Amino acid sequence: MKVLTSLAGVSALVWVANANALNINLYDEADPLQVTIRISGSTSHDPGLEKLWQLNERNLGICVEGTLDFFRSRDRRKRLAYCMGRPSLPVELAGKRLAIHKVSEGGSGNGVAPLVRAPFSPGLPDPPDFWNVPTFGGFLTGCAGVTETPLPGTPFAAYTLHDDCPNGSVNAGTINNPAPDAGISDLEPAIFKTAFDPDLNATELAAIPPKLIAAVVMGVPVTLNIRNRMQALQFEEAFTEAVPPLDACHPSHPNYRDPVVPGSAITNAESGECMPSLYRSQLSALYSGSFSEWSQITSPTTEGEDLTAIPRPFLPNVPDNALSDPSVFWCRRVDTSGTQAAFETYMLGQRCAEGVPPFVSAGLDPAHVTESSVSSDVVKCLNTKFAAGKGAIGVLSLEFVPDESDNYRFIKVGAKAPCLLEIVKSSYDFVAESTMQWRTVAIAGLPRLLDFPLRLALAQQIRKKMGKRAVIQDLNTAFKTLFCGGGNEPDEGSGGLLGNALSANVPPTTPFVAEGGGPDDVQVHPVMTKSRGLRGLNVPNSCGRMIDVHPTEIELAP
């Protein structure tokens, strides 16, 4: 129960046992009993933030259990967590009303530049459009809530969810829109310096030193018609027009859509064994536009084979997947996107060195390239291209697992699938190490966060806990990829997130497995064993090589 009293216009809360969710009509940023912070940037970590706010006290969450009111906008780009700080937080936060705003418009770049450039600076988009909630809650008081109760045994507490709230804010697009206190980016801020005009300079970057929070698994998505054609090439044993293929991974095989084993939810078509692969150099050719038609990737051959005996067109037509255009189409993100930056650095070395091939862009090829502000629009682009009979490749992280209504699939990179087991073993390293940062010095008329000790303390708590194993482990249960075995009995480890290797999180131990629940289980311990950062500094360098920092295994002989 909670009791509200009013003293000279300042609200004070007296809390007794069994606290209930806060009411938004208590909202008052001028009240010393409320700590308000605004965070902008990466969409990839929005699910993680939501789970962090829901953590129970036993798992060292931020909120007193049962006090969380969580508001989410209709367009999913604005969020507000409003709760009472639990007693075991630093004393300056314990018992305070915590108001944590997050806006995702513009992606990772908006977790960087708006921290060091005043609103409406040259080369800077409009400031992040936070909900500017008036005293006593204003427009959010009309956004109804429902109680969400976690399943028994999970590390989360019940809360009140206010979904589908108004998108707009009180001062949207005006100079009064508040500047962010902190930002989140899929890669460190320096990677985004060229995404703005003028480039972010050394002084600006030095003002927001980053720290690692978690790692996001990246994957290569292609339209289903291209995935199926790749399978037809890579698994075409004894394939002629007269003889059916012998490999069940071939789309024309009668057992192609049968379960891998009786009773399994995984069919041959969607299994990891039948997942086709491209080399990293082939992918680099595709993403740079060096390969502009799918025919530039050809069928494998065997030594001594009579190549004239069997016609082998590239990506032959397979049932129900006609191509209306031989061209490659691209579904990418805008330059400020962290996912886009991850693909550019990993595939092409872009943003890291001069003279490397640029990533394809709509500015150079508007007929074949679609650029989107959010990842959900990349999914829409892939589905749209498939519906038009076109073959496309995109940029996505593993949070965007295709469902039955989607017509895109992930493929392997260099014969390795983006599964947790491959990542911790060091055989798959297409992973973005994300950071959180804030101003440590005053710049562009914006104050350092240290000038607001309560906000700083709350930002430190959020950054410290964003990579918590309980949060990541729970989130990964929603990222069940069939090719990792996530349809029935996981054997490669499904998931889209891992804790960073340089934190205090406990990594899995060798010999690694993806089942069993012990210390060697990568699903129970989803923590990186490697990093591109420096040990002791907890700071990444996305232009560097992955380096193991925890024990790993010798590679199996072929």
- For the chain, which domains are there? 2-208+439-451 (no CATH), 219-301+311-422 (3.40.190.10)
Residues 550, 220: contact at Cβ < 8 Å? no
H or E element, residue 370: strand 369-372
Does the pLDDT value for residue 9 go beyond 90? no
Q: How far is CA 151 from CA 69, 154, 156, 190, 545, in A?
A: 18, 6, 8, 41, 40
Q: What are phi and psi of 369, to 5 degrees?
A: -115, 130
Distances (CA, A) of 399 to 30, 39, 276, 375: 38, 21, 20, 10
| CA pair distance 41, 128, nearest whole angstrom | 9
Q: Quick one: how far is CA 67 from the chain centroid?
A: 27
Q: What average pLDDT score do residues 222-233 get? A: 91
> In this predicted structure, what is the pLDDT of residue 317?
54
Please answer whether residues 382 and 221 qualify as being in contact, where contact means their C-beta atoms are separated by less than 8 angstroms. Answer: yes
How does residue 1 score in pLDDT terms, banded at 50, 70 and 90? very low
* pLDDT given for residue 556 in this prediction: 75
Please tell me the least confidently modeled range out of 246-250, 429-433, 550-554: 246-250
Q: Which H or E element spans position 457?
A: helix 453-465
Gap between the Cα atoms of 222 and 485, Å rounded: 20
Decide if pLDDT at 513 tops 90: yes
In this prediction, residues 217-230 reach a mean pLDDT of 94
C-alpha span between 470 and 417 (Å, rounded) = 24
pLDDT at 527 over 90: yes
Average predicted confidence (pLDDT) for the chain: 86
Q: Could you report the per-residue pLDDT of 105-129, keeping only the tens digit for each?
A: 888 999 999 999 987 777 676 778 8
Please report where in the chains the tokens 């720290």 appear, as a residue: 211
What are 292-337's pLDDT values in tens digits? 999 888 876 655 555 444 444 455 555 556 788 989 999 999 998 9
Task: For residue 30, give the DSSP letter.
Answer: T
pLDDT band (50, 70, 90) for residue 37: very high
Q: Nearest 10 degrees: CA dihedral of 533, 534, 537, 540? A: -10
- Looking at residue 338, its amino acid is G
Tokens in use for 401? 């697992």
pLDDT at 445 exceeding the cut of 50: yes
pLDDT tier at 3, thresholds 50, 70, 90 = very low
Q: How far apart are CA 498 and CA 505, in angstroms?
A: 10
User: Which segment of 112-121, 208-217, 441-450, 472-481 scores lowest on mean pLDDT?
Assistant: 472-481
Could you tell me the pLDDT band of residue 202, with boundaries at 50, 70 and 90?
A: very high
Amino acid type, 545: R
The SS3 of residue 69 is strand
- pLDDT at residue number 141: 94
What is the Cα–Cα distance from 457 to 229, expressed in whole angstroms?
53
Q: Between these two residues, 524 and 20, which has the higher pLDDT value?
A: 524
Record the pTM. 0.86
- 401 or 384, which is more confident: 384
**pLDDT category, 10, cuts 50, 70, 90?**
very low
- In this predicted model, which residue has the larger pLDDT, 280 or 488? 280
- For residues 333 and 186, the answer to whether their CB atoms sit within 8 Å is no
Q: Which backbone phi and psi does 318 adopt, to 5 degrees?
A: -125, 165
What pLDDT digit, counting tens, does each position of 332-364 carry?
Answer: 999 989 999 999 999 999 999 999 999 999 999
pLDDT value, residue 320: 55
Secondary structure (H, E, C), 112-177? CHHHCCCCCCCCCCCCCCCCCCCCCCHHHHHCCCEEECCCCCCCECCEEEEEEECCCCCCCCCCCC
Note the pLDDT of residue 170: 56
Could you report the per-residue pLDDT of 126-183, keeping only the tens digit for each? 778 899 899 999 999 999 999 999 988 888 999 999 999 998 765 555 556 788 999 9
Hey, how many other C-beta atoms are within 10 angstroms of the C-beta on 6? 8
pLDDT at 184 over 80: yes
Reading the block at residue 17, the tokens are 């046992």
Residue 516 banded pLDDT, cuts 50, 70, 90: confident
For 488-545, the DSSP string reads SS-SS---SEEB-TTSSPPPP-SSPBSSSSSTTBTTTS-B-SEESSBTTTTB--TTS-
